[in-house]
Structure 1
Amino acid sequence: MANVGSDKPNIRQVATIAGVSHMTVSRVLNDYPNIKPETRRRVLEAIEELDYRPNLVARALATQRSQRIGVIVESAVAHGPTSILRAVELAARGAGYSVTPVALLEGDPLTPQDAVDSLTTQGVDAICVIAPRSSSVAALRRVAMSVPMLVIKADADPTFLTVSIDQNAGAALVVDHLVSLGHRDILHVSGPLDWLDARARERAFHTRAKSWGVRERPIVVGDWSADFAYDFAIGLKRLPDFTAIFAANDDTAIGLIHGLHDRGFDVPGDLSVVGFDDVPLARHFLPPLTTVRQDFEALGSAAVEMLRAAIEKREIPQVTRIPTELVVRESTAPPREVR
């Protein structure tokens, strides 16, 4: 190893090995544009060889930035928001940033304004909002922002940076799959429609179903929980006319499957069920769940890169929607009347 005479490698040793100035090393560390690819490669190789770790305190003093991203997350115990938060933390760490989360919980007196005030008081460089309600976004529009803010939501916004998993495409994949099996009467059990993701899935479901000539019927508005879905399924008086159910998330789907089983109905023999998320246990449900996989890692990386670009006053990447994937398992089959 080249760091002879020092227990801890420093930026000048990196510069010597890479054959550049220490200012060039600093520019590479801070992801400055216009660094030649060959120069960047040599610096990164020298950093790896020395196992160099930048002094974040010194960097913060030099750049007048804290290297910290604040995150406001609603429903922090649910799979989607938790997975996005974890992905943002991993992406931020890889970029040399730390994350300070603030959770807005059901019944908590903490408001979006309080959360923003708390984070800006701590000196964050930017704020990311995960799994927002429409009411929270409306409240954030009234907050005077001193740092860039990104909201995880499907639609572009004049006030905030936005990026999301493509909810519209995910819902369309579900409808296309069920229609390809022969279903023409599909029920949607949605999440709470104040949640932007729930509303996006509900709208996309109706649009795609209408394009296929699927019977239009009122949706059932749920609360994301397996308990709500179980109670709905167990309360069915008879085998319904609809032959498939699109559940707004996997928790709802597993509650439905449990309730349908206890009611004496077979999945997928009597009713097909599709979820949304692809939680780790989805493949182990009985039956294994057909669902939409969301790439939370890609979403976290895109969110952090957009915020870093805003913080560092670089061109903002234009990746705004992350693709989804339909994972077909055993909870879906052709409808009972055509088998």
Structure 2
Amino acid sequence: MLTAQLVRSLSREGAQVEIIPTAELDVFQDKFFQGAISLLYRPDHLEELSRLCRSSRLPLVSINCDFDGYPAVCSDDRQGIGLAIDFLAERGHREFAFIGKSLPTASQENRQRFFCEHLAEHGFPPGLVLRIPDAEHMIESVLKLLRRTVTAVIVTHEDYGLAVSYALALAGKRVPDDLSLIAYESAGISRFCLPAQTTIRQDFEQLANGAIELLHSDAGEGRRLLLPYTLIERDSVGRPPL
């Protein structure tokens, strides 16, 4: 979704765009580029890209990952997680679970940290944290969740909202009667789940436009744009069961 939006935004600027897989980063040595926008998250890939850009004196902007002092545009994960917890707390929830992906990304690490911090700030009990490698392990993980007195789940990876909903249905649990759920918005999926999922949404268009702005502005090292999430209220949140 973000890649497609980035291509659209760059094309509107009249730019020619080449999407380079991580296995082909060495093309920087053979082709002429005027700038690079990174969607990478693995440290080894980022270090290689940084080395290539520095050797070519190529401006580099990162999206959703602060790296090596380069300018970055990021969704504000602290604000987004807070938005979800506040929305659930206003409806009486006190027992929370966090479901994320077991990737070593800055976004996933930040989302987990801010989840724990926001619960502590509210004076709520420590939440259950589940980091899951892929959707194939979702049913097993949801069964672990159901052994706890959790009333609300925040799903912090865009690909997992549907899988969590499916696993809960297999376990005989109804959303939101038995468990409330807030997911990260997945375009074309979240609103068609049964029930339609309340989500927090990154603004991919603003992320793309912000990255292009930083690239054009010759931004100094360490400049960072933070963009807010939006909460989309649908049907997957209710009050805790009695």
Answering whether residue 198 of structure 2 is matched by residue 290 of structure 1, we say yes
Q: Distance in 2 between matches of 1:85 and 1:238?
A: 36
Native 8 Å contact 1:290 1:331 kept in 2:
yes
In the TM superposition, 1:115-134 aligns within 5 A as 115=25, 117-134=26-43
Deviations 1:289-317 (A, max 9, x none): 0111111011111111211223xxx889x
Native 8 Å contact 1:141 1:159 kept in 2:
no
Native 8 Å contact 1:167 1:200 kept in 2:
yes
Q: Describe the shift of the 1:269–1:239 C-alpha distance in structure 2 as closer, same or farther (beyond 3 A).
A: farther
Structure 2 SS opposite 1:298: helix
Q: Which residue of 2 aligns with 1:279?
A: 187
1:247 aligned residue (155, 166, 169): 155
Q: Which residue of 1 aligns with 2:91?
A: 181
RMSD: 2.4
Output the amino acid matched with 1:176. Answer: D
Q: Shift in Å at residue 154 of structure 1?
A: 5.1
Output the amino acid matched with 1:149. Answer: L
Deviations 1:44-82 (A, max 9, x none): xxxxxxxxxxxxxxxxxxxxxxxxxxxxxxxxxxxxxxx
Q: Which residue of 1 aligns with 2:80?
A: 170
- Higher RCO (CA-CA < 8 Å; seq separation 6+): 2
**How many pairs were matched up?**
239
Q: Shift in Å at residue 134 of structure 1?
A: 4.0
Native 8 Å contact 2:198 2:232 kept in 1:
yes
Output the amino acid matched with 1:86. Answer: A
Q: Shift in Å at residue 118 of structure 1?
A: 1.1
Q: Shift in Å at residue 277 of structure 1?
A: 2.7
Q: Shift in Å at residue 173 of structure 1?
A: 0.7
Native 8 Å contact 2:41 2:65 kept in 1:
no
2:21 aligned residue (103, 107, 114): 103
Q: Distance in 2 between matches of 1:172 and 1:329?
A: 18
Native 8 Å contact 1:302 1:319 kept in 2:
no
Q: Distance in 1 between matches of 2:83 and 2:128?
A: 20
Q: Distance in 2 between matches of 1:271 and 1:239?
A: 13
In the TM superposition, 1:39-188 aligns within 5 A as 83-104=1-22, 110=23, 114-115=24-25, 117-143=26-52, 145=54, 146=56, 147-153=58-64, 155=66, 157-188=67-98
Q: Which residue of 1 aligns with 2:117?
A: 207
Native 8 Å contact 2:116 2:127 kept in 1:
no
Structure 2 SS opposite 1:199: helix
Q: Shift in Å at residue 139 of structure 1?
A: 4.7
Output the amino acid matched with 1:93. Answer: S
Output the amino acid matched with 2:129. Answer: I
Q: Shift in Å at residue 238 of structure 1?
A: 5.3
Q: Distance in 2 between matches of 1:88 and 1:253?
A: 24
Moved over 4 A (4+): 138-144, 236-239
Q: Distance in 1 between matches of 2:93 and 2:158?
A: 20
Q: Shift in Å at residue 221 of structure 1?
A: 0.8
In the TM superposition, 1:232-271 aligns within 5 A as 232-233=141-142, 235-236=143-144, 240-271=148-179
Q: Describe the shift of the 1:135–1:228 C-alpha distance in structure 2 as closer, same or farther (beyond 3 A).
A: farther
Q: Shift in Å at residue 192 of structure 1?
A: 2.2
Output the amino acid matched with 1:273. Answer: L
Output the amino acid matched with 1:220. Answer: L
Q: Distance in 2 between matches of 1:243 and 1:327?
A: 20
Q: Describe the shift of the 1:238–1:90 C-alpha distance in structure 2 as closer, same or farther (beyond 3 A).
A: closer
Q: Shift in Å at residue 101 of structure 1?
A: 0.7
Q: Shift in Å at residue 334 of structure 1?
A: 0.9
Q: Describe the shift of the 1:207–1:148 C-alpha distance in structure 2 as closer, same or farther (beyond 3 A).
A: same
Output the amino acid matched with 1:124. Answer: F
Deviations 1:119-139 (A, max 9, x none): 342111111111413453345
Output the amino acid matched with 1:323. Answer: P
Output the amino acid matched with 2:20. Answer: V
Q: Shift in Å at residue 142 of structure 1?
A: 4.9
Structure 2 SS opposite 1:181: coil
Q: Report the structure number with the largest CA radius of gyration.
A: 1
Q: Which residue of 2 aligns with 1:226?
A: 135
Structure 2 SS opposite 1:159: coil
